[in-house]
Amino acid sequence: MVIAVAAAAGCGAVVRYEVTIWGKKRWPNLPLATLLVNLLGAFLAGTFFGLFATWGGSVILLAGFCGGLTTFSTYMTETFILLKNRRWGAALSYWLGSVALGGGALVLGLLLGKWIG
């Protein structure tokens, strides 16, 4: 099980890396790539939980793939950088928006997972 979780986390990290490279080219002054991977991860976590809540292997997808894909530490660092650069509105929008949108993405994914499953 540990090897499967590690492999899934590695796959999630590769997706995060690719989205980050893509996002930094498009939005060099905003942390939208991190927001995107965190929203995607929340949506997928909700979907996986809705689909596989009773399957013991769901930890591979949730802790593994979604854990490797999402990043709380980068979210906090980018919020701090916005504050350090006195971009108060952007920092507050990013900080609160990530939580609100992430919660919404999780609920939508959960509803989708239950609907499919």
As a whole number, mean pLDDT of residues 25-32 equals 94
Percent of the chain with pLDDT over 70: 100
Residue 87 burial (CB count, 10 A): 15
**79 annotated to bind ligand:** no
**54 annotated to bind ligand:** no
Token digits of residue 65: 């793939």
The model's pTM:
0.88
Residue ranges of the domains in the chain? 2-116
The overall average pLDDT reported for the chain is: 93
Residue 55, pLDDT above cutoff 80: no
As a whole number, mean pLDDT of residues 48-54 equals 84
CA atoms of 110 and 105, how far apart (whole Å): 9
Confidence label for 52 from pLDDT (cuts 50, 70 and 90): confident
Token digits of residue 46: 């909700």
DSSP string, 78-99: HHHHHHHTT-HHHHHHHHHHHH
* Helix orientation angle between 2-26 and 32-52, rounded to the nearest 10 degrees: 150
Confidence label for 53 from pLDDT (cuts 50, 70 and 90): confident
